[in-house]
Amino acid sequence: MENAQNTSQYRSLALDIDSASIGFLIYGGNEDFETGTIMLDSSLSDYRQALENAVYDNAQLLNDYANITIAIHSQHFALLPQELADKGLSEKILAASFTTLEGDVLCHPIAGSDAAVACDLPSGVLGFLRRTFANATIMHHLVPLCNYCLKAYAEDTACLHISINQDEAHIVVIKQGLLQMANTFQFKALEDVAYYALNMWKTCGLDTSRDKVLLSGNNQLRRELAEQLRQWIAYVMPEVLPTEALQLGRDAINLPFNLITLASC
């Protein structure tokens, strides 16, 4: 354990936390990365307790890492100007958008823009993460994808990125180097994702013969979604492996895209 602890001081930890699991990536320190998924105990009604148990039962998450980034999923979120976030208005904006708030409000800026993402988390979760992972950077799960898209598509006229996994989709639109829209939602059928993406495409004024859709996430789902979108949009293609992933080690191509973007924050 002592050797592992000493080694971890030169490594970094990325955590992607949703309602059912924790995805983790341990990387850096001139070693191959380690990755995996830890399931939360679904029999517990208290989400915070299920999250605590999962973390404390996996000692590799508790080492002294040089850098820790955490993305946490929430459907209670708002994209807002950074100016309003700086004035402490995040909670008021969330309260106006949702009938009930769960407890903790988190707000984090989107790099390369004048926007931020504020979200509401179950009571006690944010405090637990801050106590357990000292000096960790904690953000809503849309922030890493927005950061990536703004950097990757800075020179493109316009682009719509869809990251899709199981029953959740995340969509970001970049136009002339600026963030136009970003959203995340749960879905039951791929047709719902296609419909929403086309709606965002039209709202943002993208060109079906020139601009492009890039897809990341689950391989099978993105292939099926691509077939649907190609009925209306000329350029629909899989996202290429980001250059940041090449620095993570061998087999980085097999990493979940959300962990790659989170590790690059």
Q: Can you tell me the mean pLDDT for 219-237? A: 96
21 Cβ neighbours under 8 A, 6+ residues apart: 37, 38, 39, 40
Length of the chain: 265
Q: Can you tell me the mean pLDDT for 176-205? A: 95
Q: Does domain 1-140 have CATH number 3.30.420.250?
A: yes
Q: What is the pLDDT of residues 54-102, one digit of tens each?
A: 999 999 999 999 999 999 999 999 999 999 999 999 999 999 999 888 7
Nearest 10 degrees: Cα torsion 132, 136, 137, 139: -20
pLDDT value of residue 243: 77
CATH number of this structure's domain 147-240: 3.30.420.260
Q: What is the pLDDT of residues 106-128, one digit of tens each?
A: 999 999 999 999 999 999 999 99
pLDDT value of residue 10: 81
Q: Kindly give the pairing relationship between strand 77-81 and strand 103-109.
A: unpaired
What is the average pLDDT value for the chain, to the nearest integer? 92
Helix 219-229 to helix 190-203 angle (10° resolution) is 50
Q: Please, what sign has the CA dihedral across residues 62, 33, 184, 114?
A: positive
Same fold, 1-140 and 147-240: yes
pLDDT value of residue 43: 97
pLDDT value of residue 93: 94
**Domain boundaries, given as residue ranges, for the chain:** 1-140, 147-240
Helix 125-132 to helix 47-56 angle (10° resolution) is 20
* pLDDT over 90, % of the chain: 82
The closest alpha carbon to 78, from 101, 107, 121, 102, belongs to 107
